């Protein structure tokens, strides 16, 4: 249920109908309301779960990778591939922040700060990049809405390669996929989506 809700809210925003969440989860709407008092509590649980998942990923990457650059790369690649940045901007300010949400956010900030500090200490990351920059990148790396899932993933991976090369200019990486053409952008933004 949480995965379906996360996907639906990420795609459609906070105003997404609970019926769509239930349909994707393969349950009735009543099942959702039996577990959560309403949309607000469902969103709060998703945000807590996502923050915990991202924190665990940052901590694991730093512990398991051979250096801090590899850890930062792994963290960003997995976070972007999972669409972590989709949900937070759409829901920011829409639900009350609980103490559990604050604590989760503080833990995530600390984990990302450790990644950034280590990457700087090891000489991999630009000195003028902050942990907040890294966290905000997740939201900035969102592909335009209306694309099929596979293309969204490719576009996000492509943008991430550009960002990583900007964070560390000494080893540029080949970009996945092909760049958008002006016609494709016009189709997305001027005519309401791909045809």
Residues 36, 21 share a domain: yes
Among 124, 142, 160, the domain boundary falls at: 142
For residue range 29-48, what is the model confidence (pLDDT) as tens digits? 999 999 999 999 998 999 89
Is pLDDT larger for residue 55 or for residue 43?
55
Domain that includes residue 190, residue range: 143-195
Residues 115, 171 share a domain: no
Ranges 13-27, 28-42, 175-189: which has the least confidence: 175-189
Average pLDDT over residues 97-110: 88
pLDDT of residue 53: 94
Residues 9, 47 share a domain: yes
Domain count, the chain: 2
Residues 114, 188 share a domain: no
Measured CA to CA, the distance from residue 107 to residue 153 in angstroms comes to: 27
pTM of the model: 0.80
Residues 169, 100 share a domain: no
Residues 127, 80 share a domain: yes
Is pLDDT larger for residue 177 or for residue 155?
155
Residues 32, 64 share a domain: yes
Residues 123, 62 share a domain: yes
pLDDT of residue 58: 97
Residues 167, 97 share a domain: no
pLDDT of residue 193: 47
CATH number at 24 reads 1.10.357.10
């Amino acid at each position: 249920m949480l995965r379906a809700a996360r996907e639906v809210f990420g795609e459609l925003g906070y105003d997404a109908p609970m019926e769509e969440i239930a349909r994707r989860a393969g349950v009735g709407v009543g099942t959702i309301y039996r577990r959560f008092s309403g949309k607000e509590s469902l969103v709060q649980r998703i945000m807590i779960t996502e923050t915990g998942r991202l924190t665990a990923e940052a901590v694991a990457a730093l512990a398991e990778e051979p250096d801090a650059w590899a850890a930062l790369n792994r963290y960003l690649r997995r976070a972007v591939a999972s669409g972590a940045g989709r949900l937070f901007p759409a829901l920011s300010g829409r639900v009350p922040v609980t103490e559990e949400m604050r604590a989760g956010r503080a833990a995530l900030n600390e984990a990302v700060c450790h990644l950034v500090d280590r990457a700087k200490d090891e000489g991999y990351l630009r000195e003028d990049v902050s942990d907040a920059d890294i966290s905000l990148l997740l939201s900035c790396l969102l592909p335009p809405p209306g694309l099929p899932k596979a293309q969204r993933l490719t576009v996000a991976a492509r943008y991430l390669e550009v960002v990583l090369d900007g964070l560390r200019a000494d080893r540029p990486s080949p970009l996945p996929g092909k760049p958008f053409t002006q016609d494709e952008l016009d189709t997305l933004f001027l005519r309401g989506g791909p045809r």
